[in-house]
Amino acid sequence: MPELRVGERQWSVAAGSNLLDALNQAGVAVPYSCRAGSCHACLVHCVQGRPSDSRPDALTDEQRQRGWRLACQCQVVEDLQIETFDPVRDGLPAEVVGVDWLSMTVLRLRLKPERPLRYRAGQHLVLWTGSGVARPYSLASLPEEDRFLEFHLDCRYSGEFSDAARQLKIGEPLRLGELRGGALHYDPDWQTRPLWLLAAGTGLGPLFGVLREALRQDHQGAIRVIHLAHDASEHYLAKPLAALASNRPNLTIELLTAAELPTALAQLRLVSRQTVALLCGSPDSVDTFSRRLYLAGLPRNQLLADVFLPRG
Q: Please indicate whether residue 38 or residue 58 has the higher confidence score (pLDDT).
A: 58
Residue ranges per structural domain of the chain: 3-85, 88-180, 188-307
The reported pTM is 0.86
* Residues ≥6 apart with Cβ < 8 Å to 241: 208, 225, 227, 253
Q: pLDDT at position 69, please? A: 93
Q: pLDDT at position 269, please? A: 92
- What's the average model confidence in pLDDT over 101-125? 95
Q: Quick one: CA torsion of 119, 135, 58, 204, rounded to 10 degrees?
A: -60
Q: What would the pLDDT profile of 14-33 be if each residue is shown by its tens digit?
A: 999 999 999 999 999 887 76
Q: pLDDT at position 35, please? A: 80
Distance CA 73, CA 56 (A): 9
Q: Does domain 88-180 have CATH number 2.40.30.10?
A: yes
Using CA atoms, how far residue 167 sits from 29, 96, 163, 177, in Å, is 23, 11, 7, 21
- What's the average model confidence in pLDDT over 84-113? 94
What confidence category does residue 256 fall into, taking pLDDT thresholds of 50, 70 and 90? Answer: very high
- What's the average model confidence in pLDDT over 96-106? 97
Q: pLDDT at position 185, please? A: 94
Q: Which residue(s) pair with 68 in the sheet? A: 45
Residue-averaged pLDDT of the chain: 93
pLDDT of 115 > 70? The answer is yes
CA angle 70, 58, 180 (to 5 degrees): 90
Q: Please indicate whether residue 43 or residue 82 has the higher confidence score (pLDDT).
A: 82
pLDDT of 286 > 60? The answer is yes
Closest to 201 measured CA to CA, from 128, 134, 261, 262? 261
- What's the average model confidence in pLDDT over 65-69? 92
Q: pLDDT at position 32, please? A: 78
Helices 238-245, 204-216: inter-axial angle, 10-degree rounding: 20
- Tell me which DSSP letter residue 141 carries: S
Closest to 149 measured CA to CA, from 109, 189, 89? 109
- What's the average model confidence in pLDDT over 275-286? 95
Closest to 35 measured CA to CA, from 55, 50, 52? 55
Q: pLDDT at position 137, please? A: 93
Q: pLDDT at position 308, please? A: 85
Specify the CATH class of 3-85 in words: alpha beta
Q: pLDDT at position 311, please? A: 57
Distance CA 25, CA 42 (A): 14
Strand order in the sheet with 149-154: 134-138, 124-128, 173-180, 92-101, 106-113, 149-154
CATH of domain 188-307: 3.40.50.80
pLDDT of 312 > 60? The answer is no
What confidence category does residue 182 fall into, taking pLDDT thresholds of 50, 70 and 90? Answer: confident
pLDDT of 310 > 70? The answer is no
* Residue at 160: amino acid letter: E
